[in-house]
């Protein structure tokens, strides 16, 4: 998914979601906690915070 921001810059949200999903097992608990608190878990399910 490519989103064009008001200043004309293209932002590829899909790439970020895919990378986060693929690297979930290597993410530090802090980013997982932040995503969970925001209610945004692009990979679905529960964050394994503190694992």
The answer to whether residue 8 scores a pLDDT higher than 80 is yes
Q: What whole-number percentage of the chain has pLDDT above 70?
A: 78
Give mean pLDDT, residues 12-38: 82
3-state helix, strand, coil in the chain (%, to 5): 45, 10, 45
Q: How far, in whole angstroms, is CA 9 from its chain's centroid? A: 20
Report how far Cα 44 is from the mean position of its chain's Cα atoms: 10
Indicate whether 35 pLDDT > 70: yes
Is the model's pLDDT at 44 over the cut of 60?
no
């Amino acid at each position: 998914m490519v989103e064009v921001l008001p200043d004309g810059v293209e932002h590829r949200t899909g790439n970020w979601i895919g990378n986060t999903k693929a690297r979930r097992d290597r993410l530090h608990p802090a980013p997982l906690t932040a995503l969970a608190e925001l209610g945004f878990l692009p990979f679905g399910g529960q964050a394994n915070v503190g694992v």
